[in-house]
Structure 1
Amino acid sequence: MRDVPVPALARRCALLCGVLVLLTSCGWGTGEDGDTGGLPAVPTGITAKAGSATTVHVMWNAVDDVETYEVYRGGTLVKEVPASERMVDVTRLRPSTAYAFTVRARDADGRLGPRSQEVRATTPAAVADASAPTRPGDVRGRAVDSRAVQLTWSAAEDDREVVSYDVYQGDAKVHSVGGEQTAAVVTGLRPGTRYAFTVRARDAADNVSPAGTAVRLTTPGSDDGRTTAPTGLRAASRLADGAYYLDLSWVPPRTDGPVTEYQIHLDGRAATSLVYGADAPRDRAEYSFYTGREAGVTHRVRIRARLADGTWGGFSAERKVTTGAG
């Protein structure tokens, strides 16, 4: 093989990769050590399972410090979900068709990370079916560890075929497995927390069964709430138009994704809820609410966040503030 001068090799590599390469070979995506050059990390653990003849359920592991995930079918962006979610149903697909999916993470600065590993799923054939499967039976569960539980059930029956099983935590769908499976592991839970899970069967025509018997489990361990509590809570009284308002600011807890809902407790009772949309603050949040027209009233206030698993996190430190003081 003929030797190629180093400058010429560098020029060829730059042309092939579209970037200047210095003291390294042409590369794409992450480096050997997983470094993405400051971009969001690559989502891992991606899976894809047909949910019906026209849907595929895609799941992946959480990536730290991201704002949203983008789900691609081939090279087409088909879904964008907030960082608090790590699964999505891709709908309006064709029956009896093979699809490939990837996921990318986008951070708060708009930077898009590399694509995940590609996974494939094939939708089953379409059928004329108006009958839902029977409910899954003998649903049982056990805690695997402080942050995961395993659920098992007996197979549901359908006049055609059960294509998938959906696992719900309360009213929220949190997992999905293929119709040939009768077990699932649900992760991302909190220690020392009580959960309720149900399972539903789905056929190719998207008919969904009634829920199986609810399984209630408590994860082992203890959670003092400190890791999930808002920090740096500040509270001050403000007079405006003859009435006093309480101005709050705090640092959101560091969770799998942005916190979009908070509950504010005033004088030991839940006073109000605060729900953000897609622009939930990540660095410092602020909120102001009416407390009355009387001066010299001392209030106690604290706040907690609703976490990605649907449970409430720990309370922040309590602050005392007196209307009209200071």
Structure 2
Amino acid sequence: MRRALHPLVWTAATATTALLLTACGTAGRDKDTRSPSVPSGVTAQAGSATSVHVMWDRSTDDRAVTAYEVFRTGKRVVSVPAAKHMIDIEGLAPSSPYTFTVRALDAAGNASPHSAPVPVTTLARTPADTRPPTRPTDVNGRVQGAGSVTLTWGRSSDDRKVTAYDIYQADSRVHSVPGATTTARVTGLRPGTVYTFTVRARDASDNSSPDSRPVDLTTASAPGAAPSTAPTALTATLRTTGPAAHTVDLTWIPPRTGAPVKEHQLHLNGEFATTIVWGGEPPTGRATYSFTVTDKPGTRYSVKLRAKLPDGNWGDFSAQRTVVVGQGPSSGAGRPDPEDRS
């Protein structure tokens, strides 16, 4: 408890001095003068005749990195949030050399030194090309500990040339590699989490292939962590049920929780869509659910599930499946999960 001061002792001069001392002390404690670390692993890949894809690894800071700035030949061209580690720089000239660097910023405005400069030359302009590469095949993955995975795939073909492969996680591009490369390492993942990856091939005109078959990978759990509560073996198939109507059929295996799982949440395109509740006894093996969609051909639907646990909390999300209207009866079904218990 603060002790009361005698009014004759607490003069205006004393108050001013005390306030200044307090302010100086607070400023000394709160001021952040330490810059983030230099971004490493910077790469610049020509994606087309007019674009370059720049990627980098995370920087560290004593507080938090809040943004990254990308520079082209010493001039800043874009700033992105700290969660982002890649960007497409567009509007470039064909067959032209460029140099890119990246630096990190924190909330106090401290900037890291620039990364090592990375040179790149945009591709030559090609005649009109609207034909996409073929779908990448033989996609496989290997978990490397709790925070990274390695993916491999077979080469795609194109009437001109495959210039890049893009790796997607739950419909978001997370990595790109040159067209001569058929392997990629994805880092920065969470422990004990199921991830769904697909690969697309791209040519110099930025035509992208259809998605590869999805591959599900679950990172290693943190020491002492509880087992995953995600539904497994999720499949999604699309069938036409009318002139402009389609039905998405889902099947999956509920998680083992020690009690029947009576509810699941369905998330569609990253947003909560509905709660699935059985009127009678919930299924003991494989569960099924169907819903109707009426959008035009080419519309993508990405679905994932999570179960309501006996303690009332929602469990981990399942792998994600994607179906595309007009791409056949089983688009996005994916490979059966290795934990399939049907």
Same fold (TM over 0.5): yes
Q: Distance in 1 between matches of 2:215 and 2:101?
A: 33
Q: Is residue 177 from structure 1 mapped to residue 173 from structure 2 by the alignment?
A: no
Q: Distance in 1 between matches of 2:175 and 2:220?
A: 21
The answer to whether the Cα contact below 8 Å between 1:168 and 1:175 also exists between their aligned partners in 2 is: yes
Question: Deviation per CA, 1:182-203, whole angstroms, max 9, x where unpaired?
Answer: 1100011112111000000110
Task: Pick closer, same or farther for the CA change 1:114–1:92 going to 2, 3 Å.
Answer: same
* 1:173 Cα deviation after fit: 0.5
Q: Distance in 1 between matches of 2:78 and 2:223?
A: 34
Q: Distance in 2 between matches of 1:126 and 1:161?
A: 13
Q: Distance in 2 between matches of 1:116 and 1:166?
A: 24
Q: Is residue 217 from structure 1 mapped to residue 217 from structure 2 by the alignment?
A: yes
Other-structure match for 1:151: 151
Q: Distance in 1 between matches of 2:148 and 2:87?
A: 20
1:190 is paired with a residue whose SS is coil
User: Identity of counterpart residues, as a percentage?
Assistant: 51
The answer to whether the Cα contact below 8 Å between 1:52 and 1:202 also exists between their aligned partners in 2 is: no
The answer to whether the Cα contact below 8 Å between 2:105 and 2:111 also exists between their aligned partners in 1 is: yes
Q: What does residue range 179-198 of structure 1 map to in structure 2 within 5 Å?
A: 179-198=179-198
The answer to whether the Cα contact below 8 Å between 1:53 and 1:206 also exists between their aligned partners in 2 is: no
The answer to whether the Cα contact below 8 Å between 2:151 and 2:185 also exists between their aligned partners in 1 is: yes
Q: Distance in 2 between matches of 1:210 and 1:223?
A: 38
Other-structure match for 1:100: 99
Q: Distance in 1 between matches of 2:122 and 2:93?
A: 7
1:189 is paired with a residue whose SS is coil
Q: Distance in 1 between matches of 2:119 and 2:223?
A: 38
* 1:40 Cα deviation after fit: 2.1
The answer to whether the Cα contact below 8 Å between 1:53 and 1:126 also exists between their aligned partners in 2 is: yes
* 1:225 Cα deviation after fit: 7.6
The answer to whether the Cα contact below 8 Å between 1:142 and 1:150 also exists between their aligned partners in 2 is: yes
The answer to whether the Cα contact below 8 Å between 2:34 and 2:110 also exists between their aligned partners in 1 is: no
Other-structure match for 1:46: 42
Question: Deviation per CA, 1:271-306, whole angstroms, max 9, x where unpaired?
Answer: xxxxxxxxxxxxxxxxxxxxxxxxxxxxxxx99xxx
Amino acid corresponding to residue 61 of structure 1 in structure 2: D
Q: What does residue range 107-122 of structure 1 map to in structure 2 within 5 Å?
A: 107-122=106-121
1:154 is paired with a residue whose SS is coil
**CA RMSD of the aligned region, Å?**
2.9
The answer to whether the Cα contact below 8 Å between 2:71 and 2:100 also exists between their aligned partners in 1 is: yes
1:63 is paired with a residue whose SS is coil
Q: Distance in 1 between matches of 2:224 and 2:124?
A: 50
TM-score w.r.t. length of structure 1: 0.57
Q: Is residue 57 from structure 1 mapped to residue 53 from structure 2 by the alignment?
A: yes
Range with greater deviation from structure 2 (132-141 or 38-47): 38-47
Q: Distance in 1 between matches of 2:218 and 2:35?
A: 37
List gaps (5 residues or longer) in structure 2: 1-32, 227-263, 266-312, 315-319, 321-342
Q: Distance in 2 between matches of 1:168 and 1:211?
A: 9
Q: Distance in 1 between matches of 2:115 and 2:45?
A: 16
Amino acid corresponding to residue 42 of structure 1 in structure 2: V
The answer to whether the Cα contact below 8 Å between 2:47 and 2:123 also exists between their aligned partners in 1 is: no
Aligned residues: 201
Q: Is residue 136 from structure 1 mapped to residue 136 from structure 2 by the alignment?
A: yes
Task: Pick closer, same or farther for the CA change 1:111–1:143 going to 2, 3 Å.
Answer: same
Question: Deviation per CA, 1:152-193, whole angstroms, max 9, x where unpaired?
Answer: 111111000000000000111000000000110001111211
Amino acid corresponding to residue 177 of structure 2 in structure 1: V
Amino acid corresponding to residue 119 of structure 2 in structure 1: R
Q: Distance in 2 between matches of 1:224 and 1:73?
A: 46
Q: Distance in 1 between matches of 2:159 and 2:217?
A: 32
**Which entry has the higher C-alpha Rg, 1 or 2?**
2
The answer to whether the Cα contact below 8 Å between 1:46 and 1:119 also exists between their aligned partners in 2 is: yes
Q: Distance in 1 between matches of 2:106 and 2:225?
A: 26
Q: What does residue range 1-326 of structure 1 map to in structure 2 within 5 Å?
A: 38-64=34-60, 65-128=64-127, 129-222=129-222
Q: Distance in 1 between matches of 2:174 and 2:225?
A: 23
* 1:223 Cα deviation after fit: 6.6
Amino acid corresponding to residue 59 of structure 2 in structure 1: V
* 1:122 Cα deviation after fit: 1.4
Q: Distance in 1 between matches of 2:216 and 2:35?
A: 40
Question: Deviation per CA, 1:240-259, whole angstroms, max 9, x where unpaired?
Answer: xxxxxxxxxxxxxxxxxxxx
Q: Distance in 2 between matches of 1:171 and 1:223?
A: 30
Amino acid corresponding to residue 211 of structure 1 in structure 2: D
